[in-house]
Structure 1
Amino acid sequence: MRFQSLLLTAFLSCSFFAIAQVDSTEVKKDYGRIFGGFESNSQWYLNDKGRGIIQPEDPIRSNNYLFLNYQIKGWTAGVQVEAYEKNALLNYNPEFEGTDVATYFINYKTDKFDVTAGYFYEQFGNGMLLRAWEDRALGINTALRGGRIIYRPSDNVRLTALYGQQRTGFHVSDGKIFGFDSDFQLSQLLKLDKSDLSFGMSYVGRHEDIDPSIENPKFDEITHGISGRVNYSYNAFYSNFEYNYKSKDAVLNRISNTLDENLIKDGNAVSLNLGYSKQGLGIDATLRRTENMTFLSERVPTVSGDNTSLNFNDKVLNFTPALTKQHHSNLANIYVYQAQAGFDFKDPRILKVGETGGQIDLFYEFAKDTKFGGRYGTKVALNMASWYNLPGQYRLIPAEYETNFFGVGTKYFSDYNLEVKKQLSENWRTGFYYINQYYNK
C-alpha cells in the first residue's frame, strides 16, 4: 500500500513538472483535422423456389463507401472511394461497377465567400429545377463536377453561381450544366417584426449537342429553366409559392427511348404550401401541378438491358417528391405513389404529361386531464392526398396534347387515413389506424 502511495505521488509530481515546463505564451500550431467514415452494405442472395427466383451467379454483392476529409482553417478537401464488388447490390444502377474514386473536392470558405472545385451537391428552391444529391440506400448520386461560388454580401442576401457536368457512375454526363440562384431576406429591410418575408430567383441551363442525324432540328442545343419563389410567415402561419418553367425542347418517347422531333414542348411546375402551427395543433396543405418537367442532363437516357438510366434516377437534374403520407405500417406501403412529372404516352389508355393534386395534414393533441385527452393526452392525425392526370386533349399518333390548367383528369392515386394514438398508463400505449387507398396501376 505504501509503495502504491509513493508511486502515485511520484506520478503526480512528474505531471506537475511537465505542465510547469509549458510556456503559457506559446501558441499551439494548427495542423488541421481529418475526419471521414466507412459504410458497407452487403447481401447474400438465396434461391426462392416458391417464387421461382434463381440465385444470381455472384450471390454475394457489396456496396462500400470510404470518404475522408481534411480541414484546416477555411480550407476543406475531400475524396470518396466507392467499391461495388463483385457487383453492386441487385436493382442498383449498373454504372456502379468495380472500385474507383467516385467524388473529390476542395473548398474554401470565409464569411462572405464559399468556393468549391470538384464534385458538389446543390438545390435551387424546392428542387423542381435543380437538385444534386446523394442517397446511398436508394443508389442515387447526382453530384455535379465543376465549380460553384456562393457569395453572401450581407446576412440578407445569398447568391450562387455554378457550372459542371452531372455524375453518372464513375463518369460524368455529356451535357454541360450552368446555373445561378439568388435568395433575398426582406424582413429587416421592411422592418417586419412579427413576420418573415423572402424571395428567390433561379436559372439553370443545359447545353448538349444535337444528334447530327436530326436534320433541321426545331429545338436549341441549350434548354433554359427559370424559377421564382416567395416565402412568407406571420406568427404561427407560414406559406411558400414557387413557379418553375422549362423552355421548349424535343419530348422523349419513353417506349422507344428516342426524341420525338415533331413534338416540341415546354414544361412548367407550380406549387403552393400553406400551414399553421402552434402547440397542440398543426395544419399543412400543399398543392402542386407539373407538366412535362422531366429535366435530364442528357436528352436521351442510357439503355441497360430492359432498363434505362431513368429507372435508376441517373442523369436527372431535378427532383419531384411524392407528396403523400409516409406510413409506419409495411402493409400500407405496398403500393407507394411515385410522382408523375413527365411525358409518357404508352397506349391509348395511358396518355399522361404530368400530374395535379395535393395533400392536407392535420395534427391535433387533446390536452391532458380533459374529456378526450384523459390522464396522458390523445394525439390525432388526419391525412388526405389525391393525385390526377392533367385534364386536356390527347392524341397518340402522331403524339400531341393540349392541357387545361385547372381541373383534374384520370385519377392516379389517393390516400385518406386517420391515426389516433393514446397512452393508457405508464406502461401501455395504443394506436388506431384507418387507411383508405386507391392505386391506379
Structure 2
Amino acid sequence: MNKKLTLALAALTLSAATASAQTIKVTKDYDVQITGSLQTDFLVPQEDNKIGTGTYDDKVLNNTYAEVHALSKYVDAGVRLEYLDHPLPGFDKDFKGWGVPFYYIKGKLKNAELTLGNFYEQFGSGFILRTYEERSLGIDNSLLGGRVMVRPFKGVQAKVIVGTQRRYWDTQSLIGGADLELSVSEWSQKMQQSGTNLTLGASWVVNHQHQKEDVFADATHKLRFVENTNAFDVRANFQKGGFSVLGEYAQKTEDPTFDGKFPYIYRKGYVTMLSTSYSQSGMSILLQAKRSDNMNFRSCRTETSATASTINHLPAFAMQQTYALASLYSYGTQPNGEWAYQAEFGYKFKRKTFLGGKYGTSVKLNFSHIRSIDKKIHDGGKPGTDGYGSPFWKQGDELYYQDINVQLEKKITKDFKLNLMYMNQFYNKTVAEGHGGTIHSDIYIAEAKYRINKKLTLRGEAQYLHTDKDQGDWYFGLLELSFLPHFMFTISDQYNGNEHYYTSLGAEDKSKGTHKEHYINGSVTFTHGAHRLQVGYGKTRAGYNCSGGVCRYVPASKGVTVSYNYNF
C-alpha cells in the first residue's frame, strides 16, 4: 500500500475515532452505523539493572490501534490503523512498523455473506484453523483474501475461504479451506420440542507454501518440502437440557516444520478431544480430555517463534488465572504432543442454609493434568524421517503441568464479599521455557471487597506463593479504591524475599552482589462514558504473559505508563 493512501486512511481512522458513535440516515429504511475504537498504551522507560530492564533506544514506547467500521443492512466496511514504530518491551523486532494492515468490505444478504479484504475465521475448536487478534500477545494472523458464507437450506451453513496470512507487516503462505456445519435438530420438530440439539461439522484447510530456503537433513542431503499440507477436522456436539458433549478429531498431512527436538520431520499430525459438561440449578461439572501429536501448523515452516505464523489453535486444558501469583507459572500448550485432562466442579449453596448462610456460598474445584505422549524414536529422529512413532493410548513419563485449585466466594454482609483460593501446582519450566526443572508451588490468595457507601468501594488482595524451587517464595499485595462514577486508585507490591544477583541486559551480574527487590506499582484510572484513561508508575518483573495456552515473554520494565481507550 503506497504511503499517500496509508496517510489518507490514517487520517480517516483517527478522525472517526475522535467522533461519537452515530447513525447516518441514507434512506427511510437504510441506515449506516459508524462504530470504532482507539487504544493507545505508552511507556516512558527507565533503565534499572537491578531487575534487568536493559537499555532503550527510544525515550517513549507506544502501541496504538485505531479502527472504524461502517455497518449497514447490506454492506459493512472497516479499516484499522496501527502505529507500532516504537513498540512496548517484549515484542518481536518484526512487530515494529506502522500502517493500515487491516481493511475489509462485506456484502450481506439473508442467507449469504461475501467478505473481501482482511478477516478472521475459526473452524470448530480451531484445531486446523483459527485466525484472531490478541494485542497483549502481539498476535494478528488475519487472512487477506475472500470468504463466502452461505445458508442454502435450513440447518445448513457452509463457508469457503482463501487468503494469505498476515505476519506482522507482510503476508505469507496461501491458505484455503471450507467448512460445513449441520444443525440436525432444526430438521426435527421432536428434537426441538424436547430441547435436544445435535450439530455435526467437517472442515478442510490447505496450506500452500513454496519453500525458498534450503534446509539440509545432513551434509549431503537436502530436504524436499511438501508444497501443500492438508488438514481435516470432524466434530459432533450434542446438547440436551443441562447436558452437553463435544467430540472432535483433526489430522494434518506431512508438514516438515522447525521444531527444536524433531526439526523438519515428515510425520503426520493428530489431535483428538472429548469434552462433556452438565449444569443444573447451582451445580456445574466439566470433564475434558485431549491428545495432540505433532500439530504445529504454520504458514512459515522455518519460523522459530510459533505465535507469529500459527494457522491453528490448541486450547490449554488449564484454568486461566487472573491473580498475579496464580498466573506466575502459566502453562503454554505444547503442540508437539501432550495428553491433557481437566475436570471442574462448581456448586452454589443456597441462601439461608447451613453452608449457604444469609447470602449463599459458591465453591469451585478445578483439576488439570498435562503430560507427554509416549514417543518411540525412528531413525534417530533426524530431519527427513518420520521422526518417531507414538501409540495412541500410551502416555509419556514426563509431567508438563498439574494444578489442583479450590475457590470459595462468600458474601459476608450486604456490603462485604470475600474470595479465597488455594492452588497446588506443578510446572515443568524446562518444557515451557527451556530450563529450570519442575517447580512445585503452593499458592494462597485472599480477596476482599467492601462497599463503604454508594460511591466508595475498597478492594484488597493478599497473595502468597511458596516454593523451594526457582526464585523461591513470592508475596503480593494490592489495594484498590473505586470512587464512582469516574475514579479508581490502585497500588500493589510484588516481592521476593530471597537474595538475587543484579542483572544487566537480562543476564546475572555477580560482580555487583545481591539484592532484594520490590515491584511496586501505582495507578490512577479515570473513566467517563466511553473514555478510559490510566496513568501509572512502577516496575514489572520479567515473565510470561499467557492467554488461552499461547504465551509471550515480557522482559522486566520500569517507568511511567499511560493507557487510553475509547469506544464509539
TM-score range, shorter chain: 0.7 to 0.9
Q: CA deviation at 1:220?
A: 2.8
Alpha-carbon spacing, 1:213–1:330, altered in 2? closer, same or farther (3 Å): closer
Q: CA deviation at 1:366?
A: 0.9
Q: Which residue of 2 aligns with 1:82?
A: 82
Kept after mapping to 1: 8 A contact 2:208/2:229 = yes
Q: CA deviation at 1:99?
A: 2.1
Q: Secondary structure at 1:331's aligned position in 2?
A: coil
Match of 1:284, as an amino acid? L
Distance 1:52 1:248 in 2: 42
Q: Which residue of 1 aligns with 2:470?
A: none
Q: Which residue of 2 aligns with 1:327?
A: 321
Alpha-carbon spacing, 1:421–1:68, altered in 2? closer, same or farther (3 Å): closer
Does residue 315 of structure 1 match 2:303? no
Distance 2:406 2:329 in 1: 18
Gaps spanning 5+ residues in structure 2: where? Answer: 1-26, 216-220, 430-568
Distance 1:398 1:115 in 2: 45
Q: Secondary structure at 1:316's aligned position in 2?
A: coil
Q: Deviation per CA, 1:293-326: give whole Å up to 9, x if none.
A: 010012211xxxxxx442xx11110111212112
Distance 1:419 1:360 in 2: 14
Kept after mapping to 1: 8 A contact 2:378/2:389 = no
Does residue 384 of structure 1 match 2:367? yes
Q: Which residue of 2 aligns with 1:425?
A: 413
Superposition TM-score, scaled by structure 2 size: 0.66
Q: CA deviation at 1:407?
A: 3.2
Kept after mapping to 2: 8 A contact 1:162/1:179 = yes
Q: CA deviation at 1:69?
A: 2.0
Q: Which residue of 1 aligns with 2:501?
A: none
Does residue 402 of structure 1 match 2:389? yes
Q: Which residue of 2 aligns with 1:132?
A: 131
> Residue 252 of structure 2 is aligned with which of 246, 249, 253?
246
Q: CA deviation at 1:189?
A: 1.9
- Cα RMSD over matched residues? 2.2
Match of 1:428, as an amino acid? F
Q: Deviation per CA, 1:159-188: give whole Å up to 9, x if none.
A: 000100000112101x11000001000013
Does residue 189 of structure 1 match 2:187? yes
Match of 1:222, as an amino acid? N
Distance 1:266 1:275 in 2: 31
Q: Secondary structure at 2:253's aligned position in 1?
A: strand
Alpha-carbon spacing, 1:430–1:30, altered in 2? closer, same or farther (3 Å): closer
Alpha-carbon spacing, 1:419–1:368, altered in 2? closer, same or farther (3 Å): same
The percentage of aligned residue pairs carrying the same residue is 29
Q: Deviation per CA, 1:142-168: give whole Å up to 9, x if none.
A: 100000000011341110001000001
Match of 2:420, as an amino acid? F
Match of 2:150, as an amino acid? Y
Kept after mapping to 1: 8 A contact 2:317/2:340 = no
Superposition TM-score, scaled by structure 1 size: 0.84
Q: Which residue of 1 aligns with 2:161?
A: 162
Alignment of 1:32-181 (within 5 A): 32-85=32-85, 87-173=86-172, 175-181=173-179
Kept after mapping to 2: 8 A contact 1:204/1:226 = yes
Q: CA deviation at 1:434?
A: 1.9
Kept after mapping to 1: 8 A contact 2:284/2:346 = yes
Q: CA deviation at 1:216?
A: 7.8
Distance 1:339 1:50 in 2: 32
Q: CA deviation at 1:278?
A: 1.3
Q: CA deviation at 1:31?
A: 6.5
Gaps spanning 5+ residues in structure 1: where? Answer: 1-26, 302-307, 343-353
Match of 2:58, as an amino acid? D
Q: CA deviation at 1:218?
A: 5.6
Q: CA deviation at 1:251?
A: 4.1
Q: Secondary structure at 1:57's aligned position in 2?
A: coil
Q: Deviation per CA, 1:252-303: give whole Å up to 9, x if none.
A: 2337xx953xx311001001110001111000111100000010012211xx
Alpha-carbon spacing, 1:29–1:218, altered in 2? closer, same or farther (3 Å): closer
